[in-house]
Chain A
């Protein structure tokens, strides 16, 4: 499904708020003012609320259900969405590896943060890349390290 929108240039707060919320949902920015998400009940509802927010901020927004006529372009869209979450997973894996060298107290707090981050990324992971499994592993390895008795 697609959200087609136009927001006034100023103020910039609604624009950046919308961008942040679309990113959290894992939307692909097809063009400036056109965002795509896989169709399901939750995404549909969330996009509808975003459309209302755009209108309340003085812009225009419509929601469309559509499909690409080219299978190759559809694969490419899925690939670019998978690559975006893969990059988020890679950041998380690097953070988990860096946390191994932290003192135990700090490492425990980092683990809490990384678990929440992993959950957030998974909620927008529609085309799971290889990195998903690796990120899960990296966090689990950190769990084992945190749970080891100190001294």
Chain B
């Protein structure tokens, strides 16, 4: 399936792309556009103004994906808190990892194009998922 989002990806789009590839569509192909009008007819748009899979009611796009696809995995909701704060920093959640993740991805986006950014962010989110999963099982931060 083809998915479309805005060019110059940052944390929310990188996290959504990882979520799509890992949980929804392993064969996902991504198209990057400058304007919602440029979204190809066969592509599902996300994290763009005026589309369903985007910010809604104060949620970031990653949270919207979890709700729309009914992904109830508690580890994903832990990641959602970090992504939300890295993207919006509105202090809805307590996510001390967020400023760090924001800087890492912002820096990566300065030295890599969107395709490469998503490729590099993938293992980063895999690791974050594993870490949060172990933390949830242990009931404390894993060493």
Contact = CB atoms under 8 A, between A and B. Distances in A.
B2 interface: no
Contacts of B10: 45
B88 to A, nearest CB: 8
A119 B91 CA distance: 13
Contacts of B133: none
Interface residues of A, number: 15
B89 A123 contact: yes
Interface string A36-64: 00000100011011011100100000000
Contact of B90 (A24, A41, A51): A24
Contacts of B54: 52
B89 A24 contact: yes
Interface string B76-105: 000000000000111000000001000000
A56 B57 contact: yes
Nearest to A46: B88
Nearest to B56: A56
B134 interface: no
Contact of B50 (A41, A46, A52, A123): A52
A41 B54 CA distance: 18
B55 to A, nearest CB: 5
Interface in A70-106: none
Interface of B: 8, 10, 49-50, 54-58, 88-90, 99
Q: A-B pairs with the 6 shortest C-beta distances? A: A49-B55, A48-B49, A52-B49, A52-B55, A21-B90, A56-B57
